[in-house]
Structure 1
């Protein structure tokens, strides 16, 4: 099996465009700064995992991301469309592990565990507290996971798991994590409010 690609979706931390649901609580500058810290944390853990990083970006040209995050990264502009369209576009070639950039409790150990399972031929899901997922690892194309999905709802994880099981695939589950999206999430991670 080929090396597992770690695909990370992120956006440039422009005030007013990043972490917009947090703006009422911490302002546009604060939300952008928090997004910057989360992305940097995600990238540090990704680098520590030793996986090949494929950064999928939006909101600024590639050069702005290289200036911010450094060299040694594969950086590609995200495709147009909803999350399903962007996941489908980034799924080839497998094996692939998808994560976002808003996971304060992400660790390199979780990424290594997921990659080991994928290399062993397992499909992997990391359930999120909000009913979605924070990680999805695939050994082969699975476009059926990205079509007609009610993104950003509490149904995403259950529907993804059901679609896999409907095709005879029993996914390996990673520990449940929470993302930082809403003002009430901020009290859980005081280090983010620096």
Structure 2
């Protein structure tokens, strides 16, 4: 059997490149979209196969959004992926100029910190770690994060999510304090992260509020936004069009959403 070829370069933190010093790495924290391994809280109402395909659509749209932002900003698109060995699952999901970097570490905080450390070691001047569950984040939020991190002085940029977490954290230095002792997957993640930053004197810049799609309720919010042109009630900016996700939601509606 012929081995599949990985379509994207894989970064090596031991090989920094000087031209990256002026760039912000826009890194999506992503699992390979295998059925049963991603978006399992969406099954039901979806099947595990449908949930995995929806996750792939989220990745396509988030990467397309980031790619468009990077084309006119000092930034580059990256996928920080897990597990190692599943790189081919990202083939045909990303713009051609995206690169991959493997995740390392144990819990989510360790993996976030390690990704920030590795990308800064690769030579990027700053890093934004972005979730893979928010396909309609406004492009303006990414642009604001990049602009804040281009300014002189140290700071952390946070994009709060409606559920109390965050969809983006941007850093110029890998501050371990903002990833340690955080109660991940709770409604206090954003507040705990802000408190941790302030406790060590790091400025925090807050981006517009957005939302993650993790369950049936937030899937309904996404469906209303993309199929009904109903923006989230807290939105202050227009969301990204997320064409792949929109097309798949239409297909799911036509199939009856796979409800069992």
TM-score w.r.t. length of structure 2 = 0.70
Rounded to whole Å, the distance in 2 between the matches of 1:61 and 1:33 is 16
User: Is this contact kept in 1: 2:156–2:171, CA < 8 A?
Assistant: yes
Which of 147, 151, 155 aligns to 1:116? It is 147
Cα deviations by residue, 1:55-81 (Å, 9 ceiling, x for unpaired): 111245223323443532211222141
Q: Provide closer, same or farther for how the CA distance between residues 3 and 69 of structure 1 changes in structure 2, counting only shifts above 3 A.
A: closer
Change in 2 beyond 3 A, CA 1:64/1:26: closer
* Structure 1 residue corresponding to 2:194, chosen from 161, 166, 172: 161
The 5 A counterparts of 1:1-194 are 2-50=22-70, 51-59=75-83, 61-69=86-94, 71-92=96-117, 93=120, 94-120=125-151, 121=153, 122-190=155-223, 191=226, 192=245, 193-194=249-250
SS in 2 for 1:41: helix
Count, aligned residues = 194
Query: Counterparts of 1:95 and 1:68 in 2: how far apart (Å)?
Result: 24
Confirm or deny: 8 A CA contact 1:99 1:134 kept in the other structure: yes
- Quick one: distance in 2 between partners of 1:28 and 1:165? 41
Are the equivalent residues in 1 in contact too, given 2:64–2:94 (CA < 8 A)?
no
Kindly indicate whether the alpha-carbon contact (under 8 Å) linking 1:62 and 1:76 is maintained by their aligned counterparts in 2.
no
1:174, distance to aligned residue in structure 2 (A): 0.2
Greater alpha carbon shift after TM alignment, 142-151 vs 104-113: 104-113
Residues 148 and 118 from structure 1, CA distance in 2 versus in 1: closer, same or farther, beyond 3 angstroms? same
**Kept after mapping to 1: 8 A contact 2:28/2:129:** yes
Aligned partner of residue 47 in structure 2, secondary structure: helix
Q: 3-state DSSP class of the match of 1:31? A: helix
> What secondary structure does 2:91 align onto?
helix
Gaps of 5+ in 1: none
Structure 1 residues 147-156 or 87-96, which shifts more? 87-96
The CA RMSD measured in Å over matched residues stands at 1.7
